[in-house]
Chain A
């Protein structure tokens, strides 16, 4: 035996068996999405159910595109716009405020920071009903502003950036900038923001995923004429719940972007989540 395989089996085979099983169960529904999304509708009623992908994807997805009950493409575009704008804004406002809380001194700093922490514990649904009314009065019903503006800042984002900034950026570095005559904003832009990059990337990824998948609020305030992707999927599934191949083709396409993001950046995302857990 090589030393590598000796080391391998120092962990019991049963451990691997359990983990492989867990991995398969986690991945299977994705695979199933692909199987049904690429099968013709007739194949779905087969007994036993189909287990391998078919070749009807373009036909299925064609029906999605022709379907004006869900406006899938509009939804896809809207989700790209909303998620991107929110992500950029959350990272910028979060790093700006996080920098201020970590490295600048001002009166009320601790009280305000405490407020932000408390804020993170409060469930999002609490303000739903009045917010809906506010959007009506602002004339934002069924508009992208309604699903973008309220989420441009995030308490979690401020807190995360503050934690990272206080350990990653030394006071000497800021002082050096001051001695060179840099303004506070210049220090933020040229010194702090570059140093925050790793944390900013994780925050950006988490924010993008959260926005892409967000459902309740967009569902409440948007209509099928101007949906986000998730809202579009829900209406598609209501209206065509018998046409599973169409619904699954759309769901697979809607899930694909995040799966790609996850395959590329999964390490960072997982690292960020695990680090956040230990700190809180």
Chain B
């Protein structure tokens, strides 16, 4: 992640004062060093971030209020781009696709991660490091490589998945031809790459739970299963919220997998059957340079959706996992 914040470096303010214990070096150079060094040290971050992170983000907001041609003119049109979004069937299509893939990937992935983390949390487990490393290794592979490999596993005529399915009498599926099948294929890629990562985060959360809680429960005769429900899950709530929000941010921005699965077609299949919001933003803002203003509105819409979904998740998880 690398974007945004507010305001440029602060104007040099008077030093906080005789904070550090007094020492005898009173030269001008030393005073200047004490006073301004901190600002000098944080300046590189705020400078580069301000120019390449914060400014573009604010400019996205500004552009979204215009009919903006990246290589031509622009004119102010207020919130027209946003009202247009509501009636844009391609936008809704992308929204539905993004959510479909998001649900198909996040829910099984988090359940599986919870299950694996619970297994890895066993006290007497052998080869802990080996298991941790091997389930995490998919996250090391680039998204592009994942999409290329799975693209072939899902190939219609000689892909491994169709070959396996043929034993169950299933006819060869054209995975990227249909909506549900392409969603499934894309969700598999996301699940494969992220389950191990989420497992480790949940495992870290589990290990932070005080051991004496379990010991007390064991003395009271609570089974392992019961301990999981009554101790692990409730105590894991903050970690779970963190994981859900991270998945939301990632899921709403899904781009590379569907793009490569469509062989570079930004429409996401000839019927747009798996075009995601991020792909639609790219289509409107970068492929079609003359609709950059509208693309910027899509970008803000994605941001709003992320905030909204995160909030809903936050409230839900807080409520249910009591």
Contact = CB atoms under 8 A, between A and B. Distances in A.
Interface of A: 7-8, 10-11, 15-16, 18-19, 22-23, 25-27, 29-30, 32-33, 36, 44-49, 93-94, 96-97, 99-101, 104-109, 112, 115-116, 118-134, 136, 149-156, 158, 175, 178-179, 181, 183-185, 188, 209, 212-213, 215-216, 220, 229-230, 233-235, 237-238, 241, 244, 247-248, 251, 254-255, 258-259, 261-262, 266-267, 269-270, 273-275, 277-278, 280
B175 interface: no
Contacts of B295: 129
B143 interface: yes
B140 A209 contact: yes
Contacts, number: 327
Interface in B11-58: 13-16, 19-21, 23, 25, 30, 33-34, 37-39, 41-42, 44-46, 48-49, 52-53, 55-57
Contact of B21 (A7, A106, A125, A175): A175
A127 B282 CA distance: 12
B124 A220 contact: no
B269 interface: no
B142 A213 contact: yes
Contacts of A130: 55-57, 59-60, 63, 296
A34 to B, nearest CB: 11
A259 B133 CA distance: 11
A108 B8 CA distance: 12
Contacts of A212: 142
Interface stretch (B77-85, B96-104, B252-260): B252-260
Given A11-B122, A18-B119, A104-B37, A220 B3 contact: no
A128 B286 contact: yes
B201 interface: yes
B149 to A, nearest CB: 5
Nearest to B143: A215
Leading 8 A-B pairs by shortest Cβ distance: A127-B56, A150-B52, A213-B142, A129-B285, A274-B204, A23-B134, A130-B59, A106-B38
A279 to B, nearest CB: 9
A201 B45 CA distance: 19
Contacts of A267: 129, 133
A127 B299 CA distance: 8
A11 B125 CA distance: 6
A122 B1 contact: yes
Contacts of B185: none
B56 A107 contact: no
Contact of B253 (A120, A123, A127, A155): A123
Given A107-B14, A118-B5, A131-B56, A123 B303 contact: yes
B186 interface: no
Contact of A258 (B6, B39, B141): B141
